[in-house]
Amino acid sequence: MDQSPLLEKLQQLPPPHDDYKVAETTTNPSSRLTGRRKKMDVLLDQLKKVTRMAAPMVVVSVTQYLVQVVSLMMSGHLGELSLSGVAIATSCTNVTGFALLFGLAGALETLCGQAYGAEQYWKCGTYTYASIISLVPICVPVSILWYYVDDILVSIGQDPEIASVAGQYAVCLIPALFGDAVLQPLNRYFQSQGLTLPMLLSSVAALCGHVPVCWALVYKFGLGNVGAALAIGLAYWFNAGLLVLYMRWAGSCEKTRGMCWDDLGASVTEFWRFAPDNYIASLLCAIWNWSGGQHWGVERAGGRESRESQSSDPIGGGDFDSGGGNRQHHALLLPQLLRLRFQQRQGGGAYYGVGMPVAVLMCFVFHLEGKGLWVGILTASTLQAVLLAFITAFTNWDRQAEKARERIFDGNIILPA
């Protein structure tokens, strides 16, 4: 396949950020002032572009997270046992399933972003389909694991009644897992093109529809915890369905929704080359939040054992009740749970190298309990943000752009037939 027209077009592109360079050879003070103003104008222009993309993505992330929160709240009104089981099931399924899909799908941020920037628009669709093909089979072993969640919880010392509720809830979340395997790649597909409005509208619509549907399944039809879990699956599939319809019929996706069957195998391989690193970072953050949930569980289980004189060993989990202390801890931790996590390799060092020791020190040495855990999370998040800011500031982005261009000139381009 002759690739010379595309290569000639790429070679004619100006050097990266050439329009933004300001002459520094002059010693005229007014020229320096003009140069500073130009740099400030460029900075403000880029800040506006980032804000226009980031603000909708914040809403998308929060609304998708609130789908599970709504089901948890609905289940909590059924009683203390339901709240305990659903809370632990949510933590377990997030770590073993949803965080897995979220992390692996993060590879599309690199692949689709590079393809779109190189004007290989058709590869955005191919990479997206390849990721869905890769993620859906992963849901099968995860579903088998969720089927035995109750036995696993009992084996590590969890209260059998709570473990039974958690297992039932986890099994009913399996349809949501498969829906998330489709939803996450679609989110990255739209994000790489800057199409945040479709994601915003579909996420808000899914959340608004989830509230009455969840209420009806839990209370009107008497399904209880089962209804709360099934409602999450309906919300995820509804969200994914809306994005698929937009992708199929919207003119803005006309160039990127195609697929080259000859390149599908290579796209799957390329996807798995980037996916593991993204998953590790996502898993570290998820395990951190899960370990926090287990800390609260041990604390609440101790209170329940004292009140009801039950003989159980709440290792690895416990009970959540409606006490004032638990509400206080949740109120303190909610802002942290709603934050946007940085999916980067530096996350592990920040959370486990600094955040965990700080949390242990505050929780067990200074006896701050839930507040100490909050301090540890806040410390790790702050450190991670600072580290990423330094990396961003001192990275030679012009050189990175040159490397990307060199990879294209090496002939790593496959054109559709």
149-159 confidence digits (pLDDT tens)? 999 999 988 89
Is 130 a domain residue?
Answer: yes
What's the chain's length in residues?
A: 417
Is 361 a domain residue?
Answer: no
pLDDT, tens digit (0-9, with 9 covering 90-100), for 114-145? 888 878 888 899 999 999 999 999 999 999 99
The stretch 385-403 carries a mean pLDDT of 82
DSSP state at residue 15: P
pLDDT score, position 185: 95
Q: How far apart (Å, rounded) are the C-alpha atoms in residues 138 and 101?
A: 9
pLDDT score, position 279: 60
**Where does the pLDDT of residue 354 fall: very low under 50, low under 70, confident under 90, or very high at 90 and above?**
confident
Q: What is the mean pLDDT of the chain?
A: 77
Is 375 a domain residue?
Answer: no
Is 82 a domain residue?
Answer: yes
324 exposure class (CB count in 10 Å sphere: 0-12, 13-18, 19+): exposed
Domains: count for the chain = 1
Pairwise pLDDT comparison (4 vs 215), residue with the higher score: 215
pLDDT, tens digit (0-9, with 9 covering 90-100), for 285-316? 555 555 444 443 433 333 333 334 333 333 33
The stretch 31-60 carries a mean pLDDT of 82
Is 382 a domain residue?
Answer: no
pLDDT score, position 305: 39
**Is the pLDDT score of 232 beyond 60?**
yes
* Out of 81-85, 284-288, 326-330, 334-338, least confident range: 334-338
* Out of 252-256, 268-272, 306-310, least confident range: 306-310
**Is the pLDDT score of 206 beyond 80?**
yes
**Is the pLDDT score of 91 beyond 90?**
no
**Is the pLDDT score of 180 beyond 90?**
yes
The stretch 28-38 carries a mean pLDDT of 72
Domain limits at 188? 56-276
What is the pTM for the complete model shown?
0.72
pLDDT score, position 133: 93
Is 153 a domain residue?
Answer: yes
Is 151 a domain residue?
Answer: yes
Q: Which amino acid is at 35?
A: G
Q: 23 by DSSP, 3-state: which? A: coil
Q: At a CB cut-off of 8 Å and minimum separation 6, what does 165 contact?
A: 81, 82, 84, 85, 86, 89, 225
pLDDT score, position 52: 81
Is 257 a domain residue?
Answer: yes
Q: Mutual orientation of helices 29-76 and 196-215 as an angle, nearest 10°?
A: 20
Q: How far apart (Å, rounded) are the C-alpha atoms in residues 376 and 385?
A: 14
Q: At a CB cut-off of 8 Å and minimum separation 6, what does 124 contact?
A: 112, 115, 116, 189, 192, 193, 256
pLDDT, tens digit (0-9, with 9 covering 90-100), for 330-343? 434 433 333 333 33
Pairwise pLDDT comparison (238 vs 389), residue with the higher score: 238
* Out of 39-43, 100-104, 169-173, least confident range: 39-43
**Is the pLDDT score of 161 beyond 70?**
yes
* Out of 160-164, 209-213, 332-336, least confident range: 332-336
pLDDT score, position 364: 82
**Is the pLDDT score of 345 beyond 60?**
no
